A and B are shown apart, each in its own frame.
Chain A
């Protein structure tokens, strides 16, 4: 049988091995996140009528998914949207930002308190930030979640912490307004859209919804442009001083620390929201109700199950590795009367054993971790393209500390070496550690065997950055050395 390109089906029984340069290139083509600007692109295409499709009903577990859903959901209900119409690039946001044509004043529709916390205005929350009173602490803040038209935003070619997010600029405003306006083009060929800026007098903050944000589905359910053209009235529990700031480049660390992160959508569109089981790839045994028993029903504000190796990506102070299922949860701690802020505890709960431990979100002044980054260089050869460098940091006694993956970006040095850039760094207490490297498959995340691994020991001091490179020959064991290429470019 031949296809229309004349290729003979029977002549080939297998696939030829692929050299690392091509393998790395082809892998990188598919190793991309859904960019926030995709949401803006989707504006023009999704029909306003028809059944709610299955993929919109899903709950998202990643920032990228959330970004896409933001506008997709908005357009799902947007009247007058037309499918498959081009956008006038000259009228894309930022440069063409205009004053909002409508605005809704903050009124008394908001609750005075949620989950035992007084509800503050956006201005009050910003004032507490300026005063330095909410680092590592939570506040409840009311405002309008604005339907945003998200902007195109280049990303650096390196691992990027979610707190560095510059592309998703979700406005949460004290005064409601239309986030964007679309009009039909004069020639009838499509919609022209531009974003609007907050009206004069509005106070705004730009909170980040992240993977662990609790009850975010409650907000998506109300993403109805008809009912809330000027944004969805919501109360969010937010914090600043997130420990992931330590994974930001040092020159951006302060900026990352000031970033508002949403712990919980507490109230939206007239109703309080409850915590429900997040839709994730992992299948935990524990239920939300059981977590509430473990942690405390009244104070639990978010709970997210994940593979253990992913836990340091949510709170880098937790050291976990492997593919067991863990929960990261946050809870409110009692606080002084008349203090509108609440201390937050972060919990790591083992899904199998239900054992739990917690630490305060606020990092003590003596928390000054070292930063370990691992990268890899592979010699060109006919190796299995499914195998990718993988690292595990351990204590000298063999206790696993953290798994490290190479970044989604790889480059090549001629035809001889494929360079796999460092991904998420490990934040480590000062001390001595062991790091192992081997090639493994991402298909099931991990393999128990460590063929041709290489092992080395390193010391790390407070605030020190240690970088090591594993060199993989075509066959045989890898070896450790000082980096031969930059692992991040910023």
Chain B
């Protein structure tokens, strides 16, 4: 997989596609600047993941202090752009997606990172722990806490 694509996917999974460009770009810069210090090529992948995760967390922290814009990824809009047709089914899809987005955004930055790495990019707990430099148990607890929080948010909204 091309590195940029992997970095972009990870960023999109953590912060959403609307901010993935900025996060990936910043991460690319970080990688560029740090590359000369990267001696162990076997650790490139976890190193890159950590860079993206750190940039994503910085982005999330910065976003907390700003008014939030609601953005839906064009890929998931399910709009017929040629006819501008939006059927009720599409509206249901969009609404559900927004509920799920809202639940995901309730997670802490660390929870988002772990949940996204594991469930969005299919990265093992061990690999996540290696990338983030934390114990595997911490990764598991962040994932479970994140999922529990998402479920609670969804149940609260749909009740």
Q: Give the interface of A toward B (CB within 8 A).
A: 1, 3, 5, 7-16, 18, 21-23, 25-35, 37-38, 41-42, 44-47, 50-51, 53-55, 58, 60-62, 64-65, 68-69, 72, 83-84, 153-157, 281, 385-386, 409, 411-412, 442-443, 485-486, 489-490
Contact = CB atoms under 8 A, between A and B. Distances in A.
Given A22-B150, A34-B5, A45 B28 contact: yes
| Closest 3 pairs (CB-CB, A-B) | A9-B137, A30-B120, A154-B74
Given A7-B145, A11-B141, A26-B120, A69 B4 contact: yes
A58 B32 contact: no
A51 B150 contact: no
A243 B13 CA distance: 34
Contact of B96 (A65, A155, A412): A412
Interface of B: 1-5, 8-10, 12-13, 16-17, 20-22, 24-26, 28-29, 31-33, 35-36, 44, 73-82, 87, 89-90, 93, 96-97, 100, 104, 108, 110-111, 115-116, 118-122, 125, 134-138, 140-145, 147, 150-151
Given A7-B138, A32-B73, A55-B3, A27 B120 contact: yes
Contacts of A72: 4, 28
25 contacts: A5-B110, A5-B145, A7-B142, A15-B140, A15-B143, A15-B144, A22-B151, A26-B104, A28-B76, A29-B12, A29-B104, A30-B120, A41-B22, A44-B25, A46-B29, A54-B44, A55-B3, A58-B3, A154-B79, A156-B79, A156-B81, A157-B75, A385-B119, A411-B93, A442-B122
A46 B28 contact: yes
Contacts of B81: 154, 156
Contacts of A29: 12-13, 16, 104, 116, 120
Contacts of B74: 153-155
B82 A490 contact: yes
B31 A33 contact: no
Contacts of A385: 119
A16 B90 CA distance: 31
A393 B21 CA distance: 38
A92 B12 CA distance: 22
Nearest to B151: A22
A27 B100 CA distance: 12
Contact of A5 (B1, B5, B108): B108
B4 A32 contact: no
Contacts of B28: 42, 45-46, 53, 55, 72
A86 to B, nearest CB: 9
A44 B108 CA distance: 29
Contacts of B32: 46-47, 50-51, 53
A299 B44 CA distance: 39
A11 B125 CA distance: 16
B2 A65 contact: yes
Contacts of A55: 2-4, 28, 31
Contacts of B12: 29-30, 32
